[in-house]
Chains A and B, each alone.
Chain A
């Protein structure tokens, strides 16, 4: 016992922790830890280490690794420890391996066998430990090895084991859905488990399953609703209450599931209204968890088919959140508001001032959430205010990640709602100036495309205006220092394409400016490449227009420099420029047509122009080309991928004996129709196009075995290469489904879906609230009350007109279908299983009464009860350990009080806080060095706790200060 400290660890370990705690710098800490590693390395390989000692070494390894040092030399010992029969050591071993190893580590194979054995153990604690390890260590390949045992455990008599088995299966599902797909029925069965805990655990995998495939679980709506009802009506045992709420975590999970199931499903949603409404009415908005449920209800309401009554109470709840002083609730209020305005835009109106308050809040989290909300609320009438605010905020923060996000949002909003070209260009300039290097290059490309294509309206003058205003603003802005590279690229490109287009600026002026850019950023090859291409364009346009080109001296020297550049790309561009300048007008016009950046370039991927040549060679007796995926014997890329997708066991580890060989039938369904193998006319088939063939395959096989050469040149080819990637104006028939989701969420992904906005719902008829700070009022008016402002963009008005119509159409449609749906809903698919029949008290109490430790526990409890008043003996036994530990430090206790980075100091000051003693005296310090309270402290603490009206022994005024106070 001599070497042992009060926590079951050796003095050595405690010293280590203490010295790390006292380390004044990272370097010092590293030195200590490296020393420790050296010691451990030596110790751990000594023969005949007592097991208890070994356990401690493992714990020390874990500790070392948590501090960021490599402890891999000890992994094997942790693995060995899992083999131990002693539960204590086994658990430590499992703990260490779950922390050390990832599921693909080489050593896992050594553990799988142990896990298999432990899962069958009689001792349920061993089983639990093994299940814990299963969750972390089993990967796709090893799942089959433990799956049968885990499934068996679903029927275990202990609910703790059943619960963990469900969780383990869930984990398997997350790692490899196909491996447990045949076990889904087990989850459904466990939903009816008579232990509510197991039922609650089952909700986790079901949530994932339902999220993946809603439609196959619609039949469970009735069950979920009835479970939720029973939970909300407090039919669960009291032990599931948490802060007077009945099983809140189960309620939350259920509400999440219902939100998924009811999403755009009127029939399912109708079954939920009552219960969700009830929960919202009853919810306790004074406690944290009550609000969590309330928030979840709002989320659910906003996700399921809307119902005016429930929506109304959701709106009330949002109002409560927003009015609350707690930042947490405000945050959730803003989030919930963002969800609700998707359904009914009017709700935001009442809360405009609260929203603006949040926008000015010092809390960054809240601010960002509010920007997210504003982003969702943007419409042509308020885009200027919102984007300006966003840009202001963007300039004020340093967080690059968020800067990127907000910048791309600004760009997106500006593209969608820009009231005028000038404003658009100015906004883009600001964004690029301040976050140019952070935004995705795609944004820059988008901007170029937008300038090239215009706003999509057939109005050439507007496009020309846009371009000239862009050119002008760029000429003005390009002198500024430190412009980001992406922005310079855009500038060069625009100047090249449109610099001379409107005749306002001469070619020599523009080229001079371009050369200035290139010179000022001579280290940036990308910018130089853009610049030289721009020069080429300007010169070609000049030549094509029949004017004589005389290069400025700085341009000449720039090109000369590039001709000798180390970058082959720059060199090539420079040579091309030289060659183009030497050509005549007609040739140049063909090479560089004016304003042709948006023309599609057709690519003949089948290389059909070579057919004649191929045929000729075949006639001469050449071998026909066989596409790689049609070659026999070779495992082609597409086949390989296919197998992987289907999770075939082809290359995973097997743990049971191999079956007897059968006559081999190629089981893998060939992704390529047989047409290819019988093909007569060989078409060169680059292998990396295989996925394309997979896409086309169904069409091919449907249309029979025609010559694939002709069939392959379907529209899909052009679409893939043509406009599809850049503009969504002509979505293909097969794609249109995916783009047409109603809530607009997916549409936002398509950058130029200008024509179909779902966001600008009718915001007319706005009134402002009175008696508020005029500035805020103004802001609110500009954000929310957009009716008075005239829309400058003609397109905007068009959308507005079309929008309400479609809305009405929707409504009338839903009203029509209403009654019939209601009738169907009454005839529920199946009677709700009585999931939580808790009338019989057998389930809980019987489980515990079997437990052999129960009686002993009673004794323990007794002891616990008497302990608090009588803790003097307790602390007496503890104190010496600590005194020996801190024996040397206690003398310098005064010093330690002063230095903050001492581990123990924190504890000292708390101890003194706790009992309200004087802080300075050494005597007090030395008594408080012992962790356990001495008699006086204990009594005082007890009294304090009683004073606060909480049960003694369970509450700690120290950590819980902020809760109680």
Chain B
């Protein structure tokens, strides 16, 4: 299963972190710091996989990361997942973000914190891969946003919804 998803920027600030097995807050910070320390020491043009992360993760935890512009997308998982497939899952995640925010950048990630989680929840549920088609994910996310905006009937306007929709 997937144990954690992290998005860390190149300066080591966490932008999103989600743990599928409970970790106390301090431990989460430690893990993020550790991951960042490992990633920032990786040279360019090497593989996207990291094994033997150290004892603070369980034995046999693998890490796959991908570096996009200013962000590291990191998935931690155990041996029931395939490394290359995870790499593509990161790709799916980023593609979805890209569709959702139209050319996503770090700012989107920061400001749409809850939306990020919504998207991630559509892709991964309880540590298992739920959906791998970014179109499907987008559909689900859009439906949620639509429904949310109707029920809340407030003036919340999310930029992915055209302004005329808010009535």
Q: Can you name the residue of chain B whose Cβ is closest to the Cβ of A65? A: B25
Contact partners of B95 in chain A: CB under 8 A: 954
Contact partners of B135 in chain A: CB under 8 A: 239
What is the minimal beta-carbon distance from A470 to any residue of chain B, in angstroms?
31
Q: Is the CB of A401 within 8 A of B52?
A: yes
Task: Convert A898-918 into 0s and 1s, putting 1 for each residue whose CB lies closer than 8 angstroms to a CB of B.
Answer: 001101101100100010000
| A63 interface hit (Cβ, 8 Å) | yes
Q: Report if A959-B126 is in contact (Cβ < 8 Å); known contacts: A242-B132, A362-B46.
A: no
Question: Complex: how many Å from CA A851 to CA B118?
Answer: 20
What is the minimal beta-carbon distance from B114 to any residue of chain A, in angstroms?
6
Q: Report if A401-B85 is in contact (Cβ < 8 Å); known contacts: A328-B47, A877-B163.
A: no
Contact partners of B47 in chain A: CB under 8 A: 326-328, 330-331, 363, 365-366
Q: Is the CB of A201 within 8 A of B130?
A: yes
Contact partners of B131 in chain A: CB under 8 A: 163, 197
Question: Complex: how many Å from CA A252 to CA B79?
Answer: 13
Q: Is the CB of A59 within 8 A of B152?
A: no
Q: Is the CB of A160 within 8 A of B103?
A: no
CB-CB contacts below 8 Å: B134-161 with A: 135-136, 140, 142-144, 146-149, 151-152, 154-159
Q: Is the CB of A292 within 8 A of B85?
A: yes
| A164 interface hit (Cβ, 8 Å) | yes
| A856 interface hit (Cβ, 8 Å) | yes
Task: Convert A392-427 into 0s and 1s, putting 1 for each residue whose CB lies closer than 8 angstroms to a CB of B.
Answer: 000000011110010000000000000000000000
Q: How large, as a class, is the contact surface on chain A? A: 35 or more
Q: Which of A70, A239, A289: most chain B Cβ within 10 A?
A: A289
Contact partners of B117 in chain A: CB under 8 A: 95, 99
Q: Which of B11, B121, B144: most chain A Cβ within 10 A?
A: B121
Q: Is the CB of B83 within 8 A of A332?
A: yes
Q: Is the CB of B85 within 8 A of A248?
A: yes
The number of chain B residues with a CB under 8 A from chain A is 91
Question: Complex: how many Å from CA A240 to CA B84?
Answer: 18
What is the minimal beta-carbon distance from B132 to any residue of chain A, in angstroms?
5
Contact partners of B92 in chain A: CB under 8 A: 242
Q: Is the CB of B152 within 8 A of A125?
A: no
Q: Which of B17, B43, B117: most chain A Cβ within 10 A?
A: B117
Question: Complex: how many Å from CA A961 to CA B111?
Answer: 23
Q: Is the CB of A163 within 8 A of B159?
A: no
Question: Complex: how many Å from CA A4 to CA B135?
Answer: 30
Q: Is the CB of A256 within 8 A of B80?
A: yes
Identify which of B84, B125, B127, B129 contacts A289 (C-beta below 8 A). B84
Q: Which of A52, A67, A91, A953: most chain B Cβ within 10 A?
A: A91
Q: Is the CB of B165 within 8 A of A860?
A: yes
Contact partners of A62 in chain B: CB under 8 A: 113-114
Chain B residues touching A, majority SS: mixed
Identify which of A291, A369, A400, A906 contacts B84 (C-beta below 8 A). A291
Question: Complex: how many Å from CA A252 to CA B132?
Answer: 13
Identify which of A5, A242, A331 contacts B88 (C-beta below 8 A). A242
Question: Complex: how many Å from CA A100 to CA B69?
Answer: 30
Question: Complex: how many Å from CA A399 to CA B37?
Answer: 12
Q: Is the CB of A368 within 8 A of B125?
A: no
Task: Convert A129-164 into 0s and 1s, putting 1 for each residue whose CB lies closer than 8 angstroms to a CB of B.
Answer: 001100110000000000000000000000010011
Task: Convert A943-965 into 0s and 1s, putting 1 for each residue whose CB lies closer than 8 angstroms to a CB of B.
Answer: 00000000001111111111100
| A853 interface hit (Cβ, 8 Å) | yes
Binds B, one of A166-174, A216-224, A759-767: A166-174
Q: Can you name the residue of chain A whose Cβ is closest to the Cβ of B102? A: A953
Identify which of A9, A363, A877 contacts B46 (C-beta below 8 A). A363
Given A249-B85, A363-B43, 17 additional A-B pairs, CB 8 A: A52-B152, A88-B148, A95-B118, A103-B22, A125-B144, A135-B126, A136-B126, A163-B131, A174-B1, A204-B129, A239-B136, A295-B82, A399-B52, A900-B11, A901-B11, A903-B110, A959-B69
Residues of B within 8 A of A (CB): 1, 9, 11, 13-14, 16-18, 20, 22, 24-26, 28-29, 43, 45-55, 67-70, 80, 82-85, 87-89, 91-92, 94-95, 98-99, 102-108, 110-114, 117-118, 121, 125-133, 135-136, 140, 142-144, 146-149, 151-152, 154-159, 162-165
CB pairs A–B below 8 angstroms (28 shown)? A6-B159, A8-B157, A21-B13, A21-B110, A67-B14, A88-B149, A95-B117, A103-B22, A135-B126, A163-B130, A167-B130, A171-B127, A174-B1, A239-B136, A240-B133, A242-B133, A249-B89, A288-B87, A292-B88, A295-B82, A327-B48, A365-B50, A365-B51, A907-B106, A941-B103, A956-B98, A956-B104, A961-B69
Sort A-B residue pairs by CB-CB distance and give the 7 closest, nearest first: A135-B126, A292-B84, A327-B47, A102-B22, A88-B148, A363-B46, A956-B103
